[in-house]
Chains A and B, each alone.
Chain A
Amino acid sequence: MAALSGIASGPIAFASSHLEDLFHGRLHGWQYLFITEGTITVLLSLVSFCVLFNDVDQVRWLTDEEKEYQRQRMLLPPATTITAATFKTVLTDWKTWLFSLVFMLSSINMTSITVFSPLIIDGKQTLVPLYITSERANRT
């Protein structure tokens, strides 16, 4: 998911930095970035409010048989509930901690490359967040 959003965020930042030139610098580049990304998010929330279903019957891609199966499934009482014993089972399993560590280490790689990718590609040393990069790009 982070990779998918990464496809969009770079070009959006690039486009937003051009908006500053377009409107003769009335707002800063990063302010346009907030406006563009915020507007898209608000519009998408309205779309998903209208499109998303509230009931199994409204789901178009399920067959009648699948809908009936899902209805039966929801009528059943939940098999288990989360109690203190559930947490004990999870926390005392060494595999949980190993998976956590593997995920933590790979997330260090993943997050650092995502956050700093404009900086790494650019080959410059100084810490420049994305919004300042776009601003400086306009000046030079």
Chain B
Amino acid sequence: MLTTELLTAPPCVVAALLVLVCGFLADRGNKRTALVVSGSLVVSLGYLLHILLRQHRWASYGAIFIIAAGIGIEGPIGVSWSAINFSEPSVRAVAVAMVTMTGNLGSVVASYLYTVPADTRHGKASTFSIFLSILIIRMIP
């Protein structure tokens, strides 16, 4: 229990490193679709493993690394893609603000996700997150 907060740091290291690498890849390599799709797949895999391995504490902790990695892969693309969609600077500025504003509304849902009563091992919340990740994959043309 005491070490739980210390354990939250390592997955963030993984996510932070992948945000840097994938931000670079998206900009220079122009691999946005591939990154969003593969990132969402990795997130789904992570949540799936988290549900399957929920009885084993350290195994499900490993699954959180996979979730964090996937989030790091798909994270930076959300904003950067909307920026390159428009060439004019003022339109680009408004577009980035719009996407960030509406996108962060998702945080309202996120604050209630793991508070579902009687969801002892976060099965429902994880299933919902898998569903969201698959939805992202389906939406990319």
Partner of A99 from B39, B50, B81, B115 at Cβ < 8 Å: B81
Whether B105 contacts A104 by the Cβ 8 Å rule is yes
Q: In whole angstroms, what is the CA distance A130 to B4 when docked?
A: 10
Chain B contacts for A140, CB-based, 8 A: 1
> Which of A37-45, A59-67, A74-82 contacts the other chain?
A74-82
Q: Beyond A3-B19, A79-B89, A95-B85, is A120–B12 a contact (Cβ under 8 Å)?
A: no
Majority DSSP secondary structure for residues of B touching A: helix
The reply to whether B5 and A17 contact each other, CB–CB distance below 8 Å, is yes
Residue picked from A11, A80, A102, most chain B C-beta under 10 Å:
A102
Q: Are B94 and A133 in contact (CB under 8 A)?
A: no
Q: Which residues of B contact A107 (CB under 8 A)?
A: 78, 103-104, 106-107, 110
Q: Which residues of B contact A99 (CB under 8 A)?
A: 78, 81-82, 85, 99, 103
Total interface residues on A, CB under 8 Å, equals 57
Contact A14 B6 (CB under 8 A): yes
Q: Among the interface residues A113, A117, A122, A127, which one has the most CB atoms of the partner chain B within 10 A?
A: A113
B102 engages A102 (CB within 8 Å): no
Known contacts A90-B94, A96-B85, A104-B102: A120-B114 contact under CB 8 Å: yes
Q: In whole angstroms, what is the CA distance A90 to B95 when docked?
A: 6
- Chain B nearest CB: distance from A104 CB in Å? 4
- 18 further contact pairs, Cβ within 8 A, besides A3-B12, A115-B110, A123-B60: A6-B11, A7-B16, A17-B5, A81-B90, A82-B90, A95-B82, A99-B78, A99-B99, A100-B102, A102-B139, A103-B99, A108-B129, A109-B67, A110-B71, A112-B110, A113-B64, A127-B114, A137-B1
Interface positions of B (Cβ within 8 A of A): 1-9, 11-13, 15-16, 19, 36, 39-40, 43, 50, 54, 57, 60-61, 64, 67-68, 71-72, 74-75, 78-79, 81-82, 85-86, 88-91, 93-95, 98-100, 102-107, 109-111, 113-115, 118-122, 125, 129, 132-133, 135-136, 139-140
